[in-house]
């Protein structure tokens, strides 16, 4: 079979379902939030249950065959086409290399230090170096179908960002080109230099506002309510849908058997955790995986509204946004997560199907987060601070007796460590402002060592300098 023949024929109808008032709207209309009540949506395939009639094995074999194909339209999130957006045509699909990220087992040394089998899923190996590309590939493919079907002359996409959303949106907009244009709003000084350079390099219009992300988000929403723009924040349900591919990939990596696996996910705006829960639930409902993995969300004590909600007793839980404090897990530094209503419904469904240990949230400290990252990377990983947060979450959940020594932890390294180098630098230089509450430990600090001063170099001829400096190196290394 040539790979072209593998593009599926199945087409369905999709709907937006409001998580607050249960209103439904056709996915053929561009909706950001519920026109009736302003709530957030999840997207559903109206014929989803029908897919289950094929049996799990049919889908496992199909997805595995597509994973071996070289068809760009089936190489990323749409190798799970039927679970993703079976209303799109081949020509709508944009793939920039996302959704092929590896799961890297930790070395036995790190495992014995931690006392647990663990692996990182390196979502920083997506093209803009974070998991946001999964959702963006879905949102842009959908936008392309809208342009084709509705003949839009121009679409202006807007997003507020803690850094990675804008990097991703700008990259996809730059690739797709006319009639889609991208504007990004960033909280000034609250994204890393690398994250700022990304949308600039992609040619997007970059606008900076004072304050934290939560306020930027309100400005963007005001724009969406009053002008014709497509919002690409994670309130956009197409993004959540694309991010479900993270769960599908984990299942595929482990040959569709997730028993004994615990998946750790950092929670910021709570889009990713929603997608992960929704993705595993879909696989389970179709019989593609026989058992749900356990999922543990992780939050910093400086931005922990979801943790606070789930740590209350079951019958008296109240949701309260929090005022955030400075966090090295900056991409998750959000006090009022827009996807919280999604989390709430999905967690109820998850606990119902997976049992009462199948989902929980732990809280970790800033010091533990940064040291989680530094420790992982000392053993060859490429974890960002949010990946470090997951390792901290694993240690925390172990200390609370929430994981069994026989289980394997899969930690979400949501971005590439290079995006968050300034936090490593601050740690090495003992340069954190007091609000972080981080004090470096010598064991994690690493700095360049000067071998020779400029002054000494200038006193010598080149030949002598080569011999002398080599001699210094021999002394230092004890060669
Ligand atoms: C966006 C982001 C998060 C937080 O994900 P949410 O979906 O907002 O919870 C975590 N890590 C990185 C690197 C991110 O870019
Ligand atoms: Zn509604």
Tell me which residue has its CA closest to atom 2 in ligand 1.
331
Q: Which ligand has its closest atom nearest to the C-alpha of 413?
A: 1
- The alpha carbon of 332 and the centre of ligand 1 are apart by a number of angstroms equal to 5
Q: Which ligand has its closest atom nearest to the C-alpha of 40?
A: 2
Tokens of 338: 């827009």
- The alpha carbon of 32 and the centre of ligand 2 are apart by a number of angstroms equal to 11
Please state the rounded mean pLDDT for residues 470-477.
Answer: 94
Please state the rounded mean pLDDT for residues 386-405.
Answer: 98
> Is residue 346 within 8 Å of 336, Cβ to Cβ?
no
**For ligand 1, which residues put their CB under 6 angstroms from it?**
130, 132, 164, 234, 266-273, 331-332, 384, 386, 414-415
Tokens of 431: 């340069």
Tell me which residue has its CA closest to atom 15 in ligand 1.
164
End-to-end C-alpha distance for the chain, whole angstroms: 59
- CA distance linking residue 108 with residue 110, whole number of Å: 6
Q: Which ligand has its closest atom nearest to the C-alpha of 19?
A: 2
Q: Is the pLDDT of residue 161 over 90?
A: no
- State the DSSP string of 323-373: -----SSGGG--SS-TTHHHHHHHHHHHHHHH-TTSEEEEEE-HHHHHHHH
Length of the chain in terms of residues written: 479
Ligand 1 atom closest to the Cα of residue 332 is 4
Please state the rounded mean pLDDT for residues 283-312.
Answer: 98
> Is residue 359 within 8 Å of 277, Cβ to Cβ?
yes
What was the pLDDT predicted at 350? 98
Q: Which ligand has its closest atom nearest to the C-alpha of 166?
A: 1
Ligand 1 atom closest to the Cα of residue 163 is 15
Tell me which residue has its CA closest to atom 1 in ligand 1.
331
Residue 215 — very low, low, confident or very high, per pLDDT cuts 50/70/90?
confident
pTM: 0.96
Kindly give the residue spans of alpha helices, DSSP state H, lying in 77-209: 81-84, 108-114, 132-150, 164-176, 193-201
- State the DSSP string of 233-301: STTSHHHHHHHTHHHHHHHHHTTT--TTEEEEEE-SSSHHHHHHHHHHHHHHHTTSSSSPPEEEEEEET
Half-sphere exposure of 299 (CA within 13 A, CB side): 28
What was the pLDDT predicted at 452? 87
Q: Is 390 left (phi over 0), alpha (psi -120 to 50) or beta?
A: alpha
Number of other CB atoms surrounding residue 296 within 10 Å: 23
Q: Which residues share a beta bridge with 208? A: 186
Q: Is the pLDDT of residue 1 over 60?
A: no
- The alpha carbon of 464 and the centre of ligand 1 are apart by a number of angstroms equal to 53
Q: Is the pLDDT of residue 470 over 90?
A: yes
pLDDT tens-digit readout, 27-59: 999 999 999 999 999 999 999 999 999 999 999
Break the chain into its structural domains and give their ranges: 103-127+240-435
CATH 3.40.630.10 fits 103-127+240-435, yes or no: no
Ligand 1 atom closest to the Cα of residue 164 is 15
Q: Is the pLDDT of residue 348 over 90?
A: yes
What was the pLDDT predicted at 2? 52
């Amino acid at each position: 079979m040539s790979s072209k023949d593998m593009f599926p024929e199945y087409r369905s109808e999709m709907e937006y379902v409001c998580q607050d008032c249960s209103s439904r709207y056709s996915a053929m209309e561009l909706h950001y939030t519920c026109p009736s009540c302003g709530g957030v949506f999840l997207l559903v395939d109206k014929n989803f249950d029908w897919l289950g009639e094929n049996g799990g094995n049919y889908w496992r074999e199909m997805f595995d065959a597509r994973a071996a194909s070289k068809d760009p339209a089936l190489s990323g999130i749409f190798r799970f086409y039927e679970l993703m957006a079976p209303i799109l045509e081949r020509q709508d699909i944009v793939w920039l290399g996302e959704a092929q990220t590896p799961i890297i087992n930790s070395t036995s040394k790190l495992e014995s230090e931690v006392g647990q089998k663990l692996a990182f899923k390196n979502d920083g190996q997506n093209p803009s170096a974070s998991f946001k590309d999964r959702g963006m590939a879905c949102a842009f493919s959908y936008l392309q179908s809208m342009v084709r079907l509705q003949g839009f002359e121009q679409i202006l996409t807007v997003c507020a960002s803690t850094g990675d959303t804008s990097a991703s949106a700008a990259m996809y907009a730059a690739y797709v080109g006319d009639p889609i244009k991208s504007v990004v709003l960033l909280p000034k000084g609250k994204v890393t230099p690398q994250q700022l350079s990304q949308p600039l390099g992609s040619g997007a219009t970059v606008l900076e506002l004072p304050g934290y992300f939560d306020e930027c988000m309100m400005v963007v929403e005001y724009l969406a309510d009053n002008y014709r723009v497509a919002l690409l924040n994670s309130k956009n349900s197409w993004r959540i849908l694309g991010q479900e591919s993270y769960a599908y990939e984990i299942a595929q990596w482990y040959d569709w058997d997730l028993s004994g696996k615990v998946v750790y996910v950092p929670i910021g705006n709570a889009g990713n955790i929603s997608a992960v829960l929704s993705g595993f639930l879909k696989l389970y409902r179709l019989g593609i995986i026989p058992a749900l993995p356990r999922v543990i969300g992780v939050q910093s004590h400086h931005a922990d509204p979801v943790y606070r909600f789930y740590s209350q007793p079951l019958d008296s839980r109240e949701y309260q946004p929090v005022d955030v404090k400075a966090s090295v897990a900056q991409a998750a530094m959000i006090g009022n997560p827009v996807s919280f209503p999604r989390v709430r419904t999905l967690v109820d469904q998850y606990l119902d199907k997976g049992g009462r240990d199948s989902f929980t949230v732990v809280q970790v400290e800033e010091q533990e987060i940064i040291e989680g990252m530094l420790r992982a990377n000392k053993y060859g990983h490429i974890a960002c601070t949010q990946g470090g947060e997951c390792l901290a979450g694993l240690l925390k959940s172990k200390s609370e007796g929430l994981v069994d020594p026989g289980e394997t932890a899969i930690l979400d390294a949501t971005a590439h460590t290079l995006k968050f180098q300034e936090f490593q630098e601050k740690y090495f230089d003992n340069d954190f402002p007091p609000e972080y509450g981080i004090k470096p430990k010598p064991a994690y600090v690493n700095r360049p060592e000067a071998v020779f001063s400029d002054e000494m170099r200038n006193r010598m001829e080149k030949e002598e300098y080569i011999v002398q400096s080599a001699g210094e190196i021999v002394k230092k290394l004890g060669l």
